[in-house]
Chain A
Amino acid sequence: MADWEIFGQSFGLVVETIIRGILQGGLYSLIALGIVVINKASGIFNFAHGWMMFFGAMLFWQFYANDPSAQLRGGVIVLAAAVGLFILVSVGISTRGTVAVAGAKQNALQRLLSQWQNNQIDKQRFVVFLVGAIVTTIIIAVCVLQDSSEMVRASAAALIGSIVLGLLLERFTIRPLLGQPVLTAILMTLAIGFMLQGASQIIWGTVPQKIDVFTAESTRTDEEKAAAPATNVIAVPVFTFEGGQQEVTTQQELGGGTAANYRIKTESWLGRDIRLPRFLVWGFFIAIVVFVAFTLFFQYTSLGLAMRATAENQVLAESVGLQVRWTLALSWAMVAVMATMAGVVQGTGGTGVDIAVVPLLALVVFPAVLLGGLESITGAMVGGLVIGVVEKLTTIYVDTTAGQQLAPFVVLIIVLIIRPDGLFGQRRIDRV
């Protein structure tokens, strides 16, 4: 097989390229899943998804690459407590519906108290959520406070940050548009994108940042580290002139270099080993886990069904007692977390978290979303994988990047001609 050729390229290269395409497709699927989940829950095509990826990835980087200040840690703990409280108030009281008090506008806390007094609370469930919220808050607070693991600290902070971001976006931009034409909400997502673009530039600037997870250092054994300590702390000399030349030295952490790709020994029969970038392998597995989780969630949980019903018709869903606002809030929080995961995966690759790269990735994924079908979790997964493989194969078979950009759309057009709703999209029949 080592001597085989497929359209002029060695068999080994083609196999390696297809596998890399599948892995790349995993990252695309992860992004596409986020777009599809919002669509399933609210019927909105979220144009802000790329900026949510960037924002979440920068949050992760902030806590991964830096020792957070006391204020920052304090802020995160306050946010964690707020998230816990939100879960408690929103979920804990929602078991038996709410009783409207004539002429009185109630906030969540007042509603909780009145329901408690009227014995409308499922006390057992309330206690479970109360304990869960407290434990979650404590765990997150401890994770953020402790110094030993950057990964845990950054994951906790990014999780909290992205949940808060999702909730804020839903509360202040999407919820006021409930019942309005879908196009209004879609345009609002464009506005959200611009808002996040500005906010992230104000907070972090535009310098690309690397999330150095898959470093050469991380792959070394303890013995190797002991024998030759890594020196990835960079001294930058600063020359100032105050009565003659003097040198001030500062320390700047720089990446220790990218770890070698995962290598599958196939040289004896393919003519080459298959080498797979670590960040794409991990991105692929994260995509698989998210895919399975959401498939089960939408199929087998009442909340998942509520989301689907909400997407179908918000007014009707509310009229049958579904808590549309809570459902929407939860879906935006979940999608913000998914966006953060995708942004972080991209940030661990060669481009880092780059404002010119990460937000645009969501646009690259549009063909994958349409290919699979806008409402289909399976479609998002398959669409992402197909686009990933097509894109990589055209890299070795088509000389121009124009061809590489065009290929996913050619596949998309062919599929849409045959199946206008996408590979797994729902066929809608409007009765007149």
Chain B
Amino acid sequence: MKKKFLIFVTMLVLTSVFVVPAAANQSASDVPTAIAQSSERTQCSEENIAALEGKQFIFNVVGDLSGPYAFISQPLRAGLEDAAAYFNEQEGGICGAEIVINPRDTGGSQDVMREAWDEITNADTPPEMMFLFGSADAELVREDAINQQIPILLSAGSELALYGENGDAPAYTFAIIPLYTDQLGAFCQYISENWESFGIEGDPVIGHLSWEGAFGRSTDTPETRAYCESLGVGYAGAEYFLPTTSDVSTQVDTLVESGANIIFTTSLASGPANIAAAIAGLELQGQVLLAGVNWVLDTSVIGLGGADTQGITGVLPYLWWDNLDNPGIQVVNNSWAVNRFLPAGDDPDAQRAALAQRNIAYLLSFPVIDAYIEVMTRTINRVGAENLNGQAVYETLNEFQYDAMNGILRFSYSDTVRAVQVTQIGQIQFVQTDAGVNPTIVSLTDWFATPDLKAGGADVPAMEE
């Protein structure tokens, strides 16, 4: 009995320490009225609206919602739920049918991913589409998606998942960002034209410093090397490190000694922050440019790396939170403020948690749901609500051209193109304002087409065998 009492007292103390302060600040603030974007939505036919009355569309999201990358996947989930609520309220969902988000957590396990896929796709009513956010997950079920005729929307640029091992077998998988190889190509294109603006000595030479693994190694290919070299951007070599590596100064040193003045990284969150800290520690800022794929331009990197991240340049294939003159961005900002930030009140911990959600994942959730509605509406109009299935949705995606949320994401798929093919180049800049320093991600360019640098891609220069 006394033991139980002791345990109870201990739990009470711990609860008072950790839970009470957080809970005390959950009081809701005054909620502003949501604004509406100027939508260019395809209108649903009356008969389909009638046929779908009272129905629901389940948007299945499968991936590692818990575990080490939850700081990305949880904002994604929050964003998808806020986006679904927004579109249900503003547009009545899809042809009047409510959109319901159905998240499934794999905890990063491929076995659980397989289980979840089988369970969802073998249900009495198979899904018309799935949404995944892990390259490895998409690669795992690539063939199943083809066989079961269920298209996948993917928030990663995995060449294998999209085009197969030889780059010549477009699958049922469609990426919402450009392929990582194409992203590096776009970066080289930009650097070849704007290198002088960085004021760094010598011709541009890239050294790769990325996470070990398929994701980290995805940009350094013979095709990207040949393409960048054809534009006058040299290659100094590649170093890879594990996410657990405490310090990457030696890797940076090695690449710089090999002639690199651009460190290009295919990593995220602590990866770019770790490299930025090493560059700052070595006092190489101004002599070396840190750049990378779209994941380097994120608030998770800024939050961890602080002032070290100033000047990080990368691929930005969507509009950012700071493009506040765009109505779509205004909607996302407003939704985040209303649903996530204002309820935090004045509590610093709750505010910090809300600010951590103001990242890539939450931002892209809105154009993803917008595109989902558009794809489904077009498909329903074409085949009728009663004939809606995965194959019909796939056929729509195969010729899907759409600027989601007033151009936050610009979809342009065809029977041979499985990824977004336009981008901007962006940069992290700390802008001085009256209230302090504001970390922003600004566009350095207008939109331009990314080169096709997958194996056998149209823009790959002739290479020696």
B293 within 8 A of A: no
List chain A residues, Cβ under 8 A from B349: 66
Task: Report if A252-B324 is in contact (Cβ < 8 Å); known contacts: A71-B17, A76-B17, A350-B273.
Answer: no
Task: Report if A280-B247 is in contact (Cβ < 8 Å); known contacts: A210-B304, A250-B351, A350-B274.
Answer: yes
> Residue on B with the closest CB to A351?
B270
Chain A interface mostly? mixed
Q: Can you give 17 A-B contacts (C-beta < 8 A)?
A: A20-B247, A66-B348, A107-B2, A205-B353, A216-B280, A234-B430, A235-B435, A235-B437, A238-B333, A238-B342, A239-B324, A241-B34, A250-B341, A255-B306, A255-B307, A392-B250, A401-B242
> Residue on A with the closest CB to B357?
A207
Judge whether A240 and B337 touch: CB under 8 Å: yes
Chain B interface mostly? helix
List chain B residues, Cβ under 8 A from A349: 246-247, 274, 277
Chain A: interface size category = 35 or more
List chain A residues, Cβ under 8 A from B324: 239
List chain A residues, Cβ under 8 A from B254: 13, 395-396
List chain B residues, Cβ under 8 A from A361: 244, 246
Judge whether B253 and A252 touch: CB under 8 Å: no
A203 within 8 A of B: yes
List chain B residues, Cβ under 8 A from A67: 348
Q: What separation, in Å, do the CA atoms of A228 and B277 have in the docked complex?
A: 22
In the complex, the 8 A-B pairs of residues with the closest C-beta atoms, listed nearest first: A255-B306, A75-B17, A350-B277, A356-B68, A350-B274, A242-B32, A257-B307, A235-B435
Task: Report if A256-B306 is in contact (Cβ < 8 Å); known contacts: A349-B247, A360-B244.
Answer: yes
List chain B residues, Cβ under 8 A from A24: 246-247
Report B428-459 CB contacts with A as 1/0, cut-off 8 Å: 00101101111100000000000000000000
Surface stretch bound by B, among A123-131, A258-266, A368-376, A419-427: A258-266
Q: What separation, in Å, do the CA atoms of A392 and B310 have in the docked complex?
A: 28
> Residue on B with the closest CB to A10?
B257
Judge whether A250 and B355 touch: CB under 8 Å: yes
List chain A residues, Cβ under 8 A from B355: 236, 250, 252
B141 within 8 A of A: no
Judge whether A207 and B356 touch: CB under 8 Å: yes
Chain B: interface size category = 35 or more
Judge whether A206 and B270 touch: CB under 8 Å: no
Q: What separation, in Å, do the CA atoms of A241 and B31 have in the docked complex?
A: 9
List chain B residues, Cβ under 8 A from A280: 246-247
List chain B residues, Cβ under 8 A from A240: 32, 334, 337-338, 342
> Residue on B with the closest CB to A231?
B437
Judge whether A261 and B281 touch: CB under 8 Å: yes
B194 within 8 A of A: no
List chain A residues, Cβ under 8 A from B358: 236
A237 within 8 A of B: yes
A186 within 8 A of B: no
> Residue on B with the closest CB to A250?
B351
Surface stretch bound by A, among B39-47, B69-77, B112-120, B222-230: B69-77
Task: Report if A261-B249 is in contact (Cβ < 8 Å); known contacts: A207-B356, A235-B437, A352-B304.
Answer: yes
A148 within 8 A of B: no
A232 within 8 A of B: yes
Report A321-332 CB contacts with B as 1/0, cut-off 8 Å: 000000000000
List chain A residues, Cβ under 8 A from B71: 205-208
